[in-house]
Amino acid sequence: MAFPYLEAVVGFMILMYIFESYLDVRQHAAHKLPTLPKPLVGVISQEKFEKSRAYSLDKSYFHFIHEFVTIIMDSSILYFRILPWFWKRSGEFLVFLGLNAENEIFHTLSFLAGVMVWSQITDLPFSLYSTFVIEARHGFNKQTVWLYFRDMIKGIALSIVIGPPIVAAIIVIVQKGGPYLAIYLWGFMLVLSLVMMTIYPVLIAPLFNKFTPLPQGELRLKIENLASSLKFPLKKLFVVDGSTRSSHSNAYMYGFFKNKRIVLYDTLIQQCKNDEEIVAVIAHELGHWKLNHTMYSFIAVQILTFLQFGGYTLVRNSKDLFQSFGFDTQPVLIGLIIFQHTVIPLQHLVSFGLNLVSRAFEFQADAFAKKLGYAAPLRAGLVKLQEENLSSMNTDPWYSAYHYSHPPLVERLAAIDESDKKTE
């Protein structure tokens, strides 16, 4: 008797939904707490705390509904074998268009087009509600309905332009790969990720946001001096118009080798009281670069990608696996989808491990900024970002340990203060 792969996958998905819902309930209870954590009393204003609490509770209620609908849809699609039915219908659609349904690349693209339409339709109500009700209610949403749909159309157009060549290449590699398939797939994805990292900020990101050079002045001079003191090869310093869509704030850096760029959200500049707070946030980001966190993360992703492709090569010819999910043929894309579902338990463990490492990196980057003399402005900047973004003030330890890639504010401030005490 064949192993019941489908039933095992759906069963685990439901178990994980129950476990994560339990964590969500714990976090929801933390959101309801009427008082600030002791370390934040006198640091965060009561007014901001109440606003943060209301925002967090709104998002929490919405999350419960969204996750419930998602698990019902996802498990039903698998259990009632909607995927093989949809695969057959996408082949029939090709015949209707007068195209060759036996061509796996055409068949796969037809299938993906249908999946994209379905996902857009099912996700749209939730996305609209999140953006124009929850985010708007709490003063974050700044985009119009026209801008929202324009972004969506641009995203679909990019998928149509970029997607087919990538899908076709993966199918050809799997069909011709032979014993070195995992290496070829990994090599292709490595090159693709490097190309995308190169062209995204230059060609794709400007389609959605306006990037302008940070004007000459004291802030620019301080950032350039900091970068120079660390030998960070800063080539360009941009401000992005994040305020056209949201009042959430951020800063990031990107680029290869000697061609690094830093991007500040205009909302970050507006929200921070002084230049020192912004420079402290940049010092934290440069800490990630100086301590090689970006490189370590990239290498970890490459190793995990290679292992995933290695696992896929072991099961891609398993007739029992495909038949368990209702397929009588073994298309490349379907094999990848099924494999992703079968390794969900491992993915959860890996995600948990990566979050642990990410939180350690955040503490290290904070400590790096502190060593540069930015302890006080970094502390003030972190508090300001927490306040302005109405981030959760009270966090459940189980929930944050499982979900958070960044430590809660209380822990970050405690770490900065602790290192202060050690130096006294």
3-state secondary structure of 35: coil
Q: Where are the beta strands (DSSP E) in 259-388?
A: 260-265
348 marked as part of a ligand binding site: no
Enzyme catalytic residues? 285, 366
Cβ-contact 339, 311 below 8 angstroms? yes
424 marked as part of a ligand binding site: no
CA distances from 144 to 136, 147, 192 (A): 11, 5, 34
Mapped to the 3 state alphabet, what secondary structure does 99-155 carry? CCCCCHHHHHHHHHHHHHHHHHHHHHHHHHHHHHHHHHHCCCECCCHHHHHHHHHHH
362 marked as part of a ligand binding site: yes
Annotated binding site: 284, 288, 362
Enumerate the known binding-site residues for Zn(2+).
284, 288, 362
